Chain A
Amino acid sequence: MALLSITSPHVKGPQRTAGIMRWVILMTLPGLALQTYFFGWGNLHNVIWCSLIAVAAESLVLWLRKRPIGFYIGDYSALVTAVLLGLALPPFAPWWVSLVACLFSILFAKHLYGGIGYNPFNPAMAGYALVLISYPLAMTTTWANPVASNTPSITETLAIIWELSPLVDAYTGATPLDVYKHEVAVSTAEEIRSNPIFGQRIALGWEAVNLAFLLGGLVLIGLKVMPWQTPAAVLAGLALPALIFGWDEDQSAPLSLHLFAGATMLGAFFIATDPVSSATTNLGRLIYGFGIGLLTYIIRVWGSYPDAIAFAVLLMNFAAPFIDAYTQPRAYGYKKANRGPKASDKP
């Protein structure tokens, strides 16, 4: 009788990478539904379109790298990248913007570094940042106007995205963050708020979408699919300066707008939490997340971009390995933690 020789443990917990990724995708769906409700079919189209590109690109690279395609596609990581891009890109972004962003994400940001697990940067945000810098016009003029009566039909949406018909001004408009940023210098908060895109509460449409992403994220934390530290720190990093500098609504955007407009919740719960490119220690995640929040605020308020999640995430990706090296937890049996790049003496 030949016996198998296998090392322990011989039992495996239920958690699987594919399962984690599936949960992440699932929990973006409420946000996507509300995006579709308020801003039209654009985001849904982008999510599907990006998914097709991502899966095709991933398969191509896996084939070139002679890897088992089914095995790697099955981990859903390419799909997560695609979904996040689709959610983040402007609803009426032309088809080629999505294509470039998605191809860059999968081919360059992910596979040139070795594929899943090896990418130092968040692939979705790398793709997003590329098109944001390369195609500023296409990326700023294609945001949808959230006034529901004005949303175009599916065919109209497709025609706009595939550039079969010209962009209709009535459908598009600047985002609340953009509007506030530019008008705050010349107007009072009340005057700015009179713009219908702010709606009755914080920012029409955006507030609901952000709330949906917040809830989806909380579910993921509850399921232990993601740690709480990163999103909490992102929100703290954004809220703290917003409280300090933004107490006067007439001078800068208020806290509520920072938290519930733009890609704040999507970024905090679904983008900053990408495990591969983020810090891995609990303390490290707090620092990493706080950095993202802080950088987002800085760029939103003093930078030239209305939103800044992508840049903030990429900048903190750079810092993640460094943060990890200095945030090792204290191991069992030690008086203090071993930190820093050099081996320190045992207690």
Chain B
Amino acid sequence: MQPIPITTINNHKNSRKLHDFHGGVHPEQNKHQSTQKPIQTPLLPPRLILPLQQHIGRAAKACVSPGEQVLKGQVIAEAQGPISVAVHAPTSGIIESIEELPVAHPSGLSAPCIVLTPDGKETWTALTTHQDYLNLDEEQMYAAIQNAGIAGMGGAGFPTKVKLNPSIAGRIDTLVINAIECEPYITSDDMLVREHAEEILRGIEIMARLVEPKNSLVALEDNKPEAYLALREALNERQQQAGAYEHEIELVVVPTKYPSGGEKQLIQILTGKEVPSGGIPADIGVVCQNTGTARAVYRALRFGEPLISRITTLTGKQIADPCNVEALIGTPISWLIGQYGYQPARQERLIMGGPMMGYTITEPDMPLVKTSNCILAPSPQELPMDHQAQACIRCGLCAEACPAELLPQQLYWFSRAQEYEKAEQHSLFDCIECGACSYVCPSSIPLVQYYRHAKGEIQEQAEAHAKSDRARIRFEARQERLDRDVAEKEAKRQARKEAAARAQAARKSADTNLTTHTKTQTSNAEQPAENGPSLETLKANWDSAQTKLDKLFDSLEETNKTNPDMATKLQRAIEKNQLRVNQTRLAYEKAETAASADQPTVLEKSVTSLPNTDDMKSIWERSQVKLDKMLITLADAKLNNPDTVEKLQRAVDKTQARVTQAKQNYEAVVSTSTATTPSTVKKSETSLEPSTENDLDSLRAVYEKAQAKLEKMQETLEDARANNSDTIEKFERAVAKNQVRVSAAKTALNAAKARREN
């Protein structure tokens, strides 16, 4: 270990006046452990896991498929939309799978990842290099940055191209390169600056080209003398070859205090200005970039290298050999730390990030991502976790420590009491979750956890509110549509009524023709005219049934995802409809063949028309049954699942229409057959009698069945009245419907009887 040239950094004179930020804490640094060795290169891992979302914004979209051979640096997932970045293959190999795997995220949830098995050859894809990268035009620069998949490497992972957005060019006063690294334990930026200061400066230059700031500066804490020296040297060198550079880069040393590396705090230190609440640094003319990002930008432009590796600190007492590594993105953490002597403790936690803001990962096999700056594996003694929270004594130490000048203690009380409005009024959302308040809390209260929870709750409430607003709008739209439908239906009914009246008149005249004329070609010619509408409606029945079935299939698919309960119900409905489609098709085909083949005699026609009547009746009955079932399902759905109600309502309406149609068809056919009966009787009385008999019998059967059903229903209704008021209404409706049916059947039966007696 070299002696630290501490005097050098202490003698540094900042060219700008520094400001202080409120609060802050001084936790033990613990940085020396991981700075003893140069940046290491780990072995090629046996497997790389590349989450599609490693940045803020939309996840990238995989553009490779399992089994595909990819080259190092090849795009394997493309950016989706403006705020998104691509993912590249960190090495050459074969895509093993694309699946949901646990990823490093505070939520501990899984996310889609591309799994890559390296082939060990490290074959690069073709890269576009630019010797003269500073003379590229802006478009090319932006394209290179975007194509390299660079997202902020400091922690948040905001797409770098967006942050260097052209629209902010010209109104930026200061470009800040953040090399502060105020979190204890983390040294990845420190080591990066020590070893790659030159590349960072070049990266700054590129970014300065894009945002055109008045000043560019690199800021680091005064606890990094080696990094300071490296930068100093690189800057001096740069000055000597001044021809190659034109932009001045300032070096600023700030006092060590956590969290001076927080974007807002650093801006305050450097400029004395504050980023407005809810705003971004560009609002006050500042853009902040991380050192790692600066280097990645340089390498992307100069060498065309995409972001496929990063420098990460591996530290903590459970790692025997703490150091910084330049590891491939996607390297499983367990594999990575395993190479540096990691020994799991009995009660183990692996922290992604530092001890102040890092989060514990839930699976050791989670991959390293573009924002992973540190893996901390502390021993239980190193970072004890057995602090039992005591009651808050309102000592106010948290408010003293808060860099956002909030009242953490008040926020705690409000969060705890779920007084979210007050919490918001106390600027809860300006909390940067730096953890300074929890750090100083003498009662060991996990304050930040309360704030995170409260923030989540408030966001959830806001979403629920927005959802209910949407539901209201949807409901109103539906109501409007229903009203319209009713009006349309009424109009249709009127039209049908008139059409029926006309048809009746036509039929009457046809009847007269039929009775007065003997069996002639003219009567034959009239048959198709009479058969026509029935054939058409049958076809319509079939079509509509088919459409309905298709629609049901659609909704089934959707429901399967959202509501398994409803799905089984729909499945049943579909089966029934399938049956119905077959039935209607059969009916249609039969009618068609009958119509085309059996025209010659009236007798034969009337014979074929009889089964036709039965068919139609069965269609009608079946539809009626279906409708009833649907009404019940609808009522059910209204209670349980408002989302599907609309769909069901439509289905019911359609079926209702179908039932009416089927009924009308049936009635029309029945009336035709009865109307034709007298005339055919004259031709052959014997041939028709049995069919009338059959008719009568079946009508009686229908009547009896309906009667029995009605009685049963009435019984059930009584039962329901006694037990459960909820279902009464439903039953009452059913009973009423059945009563109507019974009386209809009775009337039909009586009419048939009368006819027969006549």
Contact = CB atoms under 8 A, between A and B. Distances in A.
Interface of A: 1-13, 15-17, 19-20, 71, 75, 77, 115-118, 224, 227, 275-276, 278, 280-282, 324, 328-334, 338, 342-344, 346-347
Contact of B385 (A6, A117, A328, A330): A6
Contacts of B27: 11, 13
B426 A347 contact: no
24 contacts: A1-B348, A3-B364, A4-B360, A6-B385, A7-B452, A8-B356, A9-B355, A10-B356, A10-B360, A12-B387, A13-B25, A13-B439, A13-B440, A16-B444, A17-B395, A17-B443, A19-B442, A116-B390, A275-B393, A275-B396, A329-B407, A333-B277, A338-B425, A347-B277
B394 A280 contact: yes
B446 A7 contact: yes
B356 A331 contact: no
Contact of A343 (B410, B425, B444): B425
Contacts of B385: 4, 6, 10
Contacts of A282: 396, 399
A221 to B, nearest CB: 13
Interface of B: 21-22, 25, 27-28, 106, 108, 184, 264, 268, 274-279, 344, 347-351, 353, 355-364, 376, 378, 383-385, 387-388, 390-397, 399-400, 403-407, 409-410, 421-422, 424-427, 430, 433, 435, 438-444, 446, 448-449, 452
Contacts of A333: 264, 274-279, 404, 430
B279 A17 contact: no
B439 A11 contact: yes
A20 B444 CA distance: 13
Contact of A3 (B360, B404, B449): B360
Contact of B435 (A1, A9, A117, A278): A9
B277 A334 contact: yes
Contact of B277 (A8, A12, A276, A346): A346
A4 B348 contact: yes
Contacts of A227: 396, 400
Contacts of B391: 115-118
A17 B393 contact: yes
Contacts of A346: 277-278
B399 A331 contact: no
Nearest to B383: A10
Contact of A276 (B347, B394, B406): B394
State the 5 A-B residue pairs at the shortest beta-carbon distance, nearest first: A117-B391, A9-B435, A333-B277, A343-B425, A11-B355
Given A117-B391, A332-B274, A333-B264, A9 B438 contact: yes
Given A1-B364, A7-B106, A13-B25, 14 more contacts: A3-B364, A5-B349, A5-B360, A8-B355, A9-B355, A9-B439, A10-B356, A11-B28, A15-B397, A19-B442, A280-B396, A280-B409, A328-B407, A343-B425
A275 B446 CA distance: 19
Contacts of A117: 390-394, 443
Contacts of A329: 399, 405, 407
Contacts of A275: 393-396
Nearest to A9: B435
A11 B276 contact: no
Nearest to B435: A9
A1 B358 contact: no
A333 B421 CA distance: 19
B448 A8 contact: yes
A334 B424 CA distance: 14
A11 B277 CA distance: 28
A267 B68 CA distance: 78
A315 to B, nearest CB: 19
Contact of B395 (A3, A20, A324): A20
Nearest to B406: A331
Given A17-B390, A75-B390, A3 B276 contact: no
Nearest to B21: A332
Contacts of A4: 347-349, 360, 385
Contacts of B425: 338, 342-344
A347 B274 CA distance: 13
A258 B351 CA distance: 57
A11 B356 contact: yes
A331 B405 contact: yes
A4 B376 CA distance: 13
A8 B357 contact: yes
Nearest to B108: A5
A327 to B, nearest CB: 10
Nearest to B388: A71
B426 A328 contact: yes
The winner among A75, A77, A276, A332 for most chain B CB atoms within 10 A is: A332
A280 B399 contact: yes
B344 to A, nearest CB: 5
B349 A17 contact: no
Contacts of B407: 280-281, 328-329
Nearest to B401: A13
A1 B350 CA distance: 11
A143 B652 CA distance: 92
A17 B442 CA distance: 5
A56 B337 CA distance: 53
Contacts of B274: 332-333
A332 B264 contact: yes
A77 B279 CA distance: 44
A254 to B, nearest CB: 34
Contacts of A10: 349, 351, 355-356, 358, 360, 376, 378, 383, 385
Contacts of A3: 348-350, 360-364
A272 B268 CA distance: 35
A287 to B, nearest CB: 14
Contacts of A5: 108, 349, 360, 362
B427 A334 contact: yes
